[in-house]
Structure 1
Amino acid sequence: MKLKTILMAGAMSIAASGAWAACSFENDVPLKSLSAGFEAWKAVTDAMAECGNFSASLDQEFREKQPEAFAADPALYQIGGVSNATLVPLLNAGTIRPLDDLVEKYGQDLLPNQLIKVDGKTMAIAMMVNAQHLMYRDDVLAELGIEEPKTYGDVLDAAAKIKEAGVMDYPIGGTFKTGWNLGQEFVNMYLGEGGSFFGDGNMPAINNEQGVAALETLKAMTEYMDPEYLVSDSTYVQQQFQQGKIAMANLWASRAAAMNDEAESQVVGKVTMAAAPMGSAVPATTIWWDGIVLASNMSDEEADAAFRVALEGMDSDMVSANNDVAVWLSPAYSAGDLAAGAAASAEGGAKAYPASGPMGIMHTALGNGLADYLTGAKDAQTTLADIEADYVTAAKEAGLISN
């Protein structure tokens, strides 16, 4: 999948009152949004705020908070920032509204495949694509004569050389925080090994050679990571890079621009963006989209205003002003060096994240259960068997597996 194909396919608070000239209309309806807090969402919500009467909650724990906030009547937020996976629980709960009428009214500038359709209805508007891919300190690797790592074996070999040379105590960073982040690391590795998560009837299918291989690779990486890796999320790894503490990580493309932020980074111009390391089958990562949804539990007047404000947040002026912050789904976007890792991963055959109701439950079970293997509390087979058992229990409760 080439980058041009991706482009065509598909808790901080800020507040503003009074419209700025950059917004095409003056919003007089009070609106709130809840989304992730990485740089792209800061750019988008800043642009939304220019319309006035808007406040944004930028919160990396948004995925835990959105379901309850959107289930409230009226909803606590009118606009939600979502991705492939975080869209699913809102869909299942029926707390977001179809957008086709608003697209027809205001969406003439949207690309066709920004329209995320479920059962024929437009339920979300995608604004960007994202993927975890290899970032590495090119100066460190060059000094030690290490070529760009292509596989996790290469990454581990490079880490050993960096540590042996005394350059860094912990050459590798990773988003291994217990919960969603750690679950995602397994998803990446397992798909890279060519694994499938489910068999017939939504039954789990991870306790196999591919599952064990994924676990063993994750465990091997921890030998070169800060011992506090089970609290390490994307922001933690970003800061490790910026402070010169690590040399390599499989980090989100949406964090790439932060490496060259002169206000906070000590490694400006020293971090190269490369494809995610190959598994046995495909690059060990997943392709994601991020975008917006609107809550069901609000008035039509609020929905109308919310959609218009959301579109202002994704317009060409915002993209042009923040070109390198994300791989934007916009004709105004110009792909640069910071998008190279996401592009190379996609071109190498990386899979889209397999978002679904069963996958949401599996991801949770993985995030809760994997640490026992990494800490040595359980062996690989026991870890995977226990995760499968936890999944089956939760899937039965959700009606996804028959008793």
Structure 2
Amino acid sequence: MPDPGDWERKKARKKGKAASPSSSMPGTVPAQPAGTNPWESAAATLKAQQQTTPTPSAPASKAEPATPWATVDEKSSTAALRKLGRGVLWGVVGLAVITGVRSWIIPNQSDAPPPAAVKTAPAYPSDAAQAAAARFARAYLTWNEDDQDARAAALAALLPKDSDTDAGWDGRGRQDVLTVQPGAVTPTTQGQARVRVDVLLHTTEEAGTPAEGKKKATPAKTADRWIGLEVPVVHTAGQVVVTGAPGMVGLPASGPTLPDLKAPESDATFAQQTEGTVSAFFKAYAGGDTGAVTAPGATIPPVPAGMTLVGVTSWAADAGTGTDRTGTARVMWKVGEAQIEQTYQVELTRVASADAERWQVVDVHGGAA
């Protein structure tokens, strides 16, 4: 800043002069009277200059382009839901890392719960029912008017306690049971069932009275016959017992119709090649020594005593290949004074040696099945 003394001296030299045209221009500093503090005068002059100097206007700001959307303040509930969604998403990602995504797509079969057990009713004890019915049929159909207590004792062991051991018999006659064959068991209700038993009876018919004028009576006759018997039983306390009197039923006149069974194809050439082998086997079979005509290691017991071979009536080999073959033989046997033809399924195997090979019997079964 210039020295105030110099400044005052310059002002004094100009005192008295006419004001110059430029003094009226804006920004001209007026002269200060004498005796004024130079520091105050300088401050006043600086202030006057600042007031008279035009303040440059700020450059006009560029107009901002209009915003195509309006800004809306986000609600607090929306922000909370967004944060919750992010948390759930990260939780799922973490669970996938721990358990493995594959276990979600293809579950582990070993982790699957076992299927629920299906409760089924226990099967009826058919074997026990057949045994009880067979014993009862033998005791029930055996009687002797000379020994009535034997039948009563046999029935008492099979019927419920305090049952009538007469079981409908009038105490007369004589009959024996030769054999019993239990059959079908048909369950009904309340643990009960009906058991079919086929019985072979030997019955003694009553002797006839002497005809008028004759001393000898007609001799008693005997007869053997099959009958059917249906026995009611009940399963209780872990065992099967007869509940009451049975009923005699008839036997079917014929068996059921067979299904359409397909016969195997035959090989006539192989049958002709092995016909002598099969005939030699059955001769040895009837004689009781099959070791020479059977394959090594085969053991075939001989036929029962009393059977004499008449001959092999037919031999048909089944079609096939390989070292093991089968076929069907029809054989006529003599039993006592009668002859009877029977059917056998014969199994053959090929046995080879250094010199040759041959077919030998390895096993034989009754029937063609």
Is the TM-score greater than 0.5? no
Higher-Rg member (1/2): 2
TM-score, with normalisation over the residues of structure 1? 0.16
Which structure features the higher share of helix residues?
1
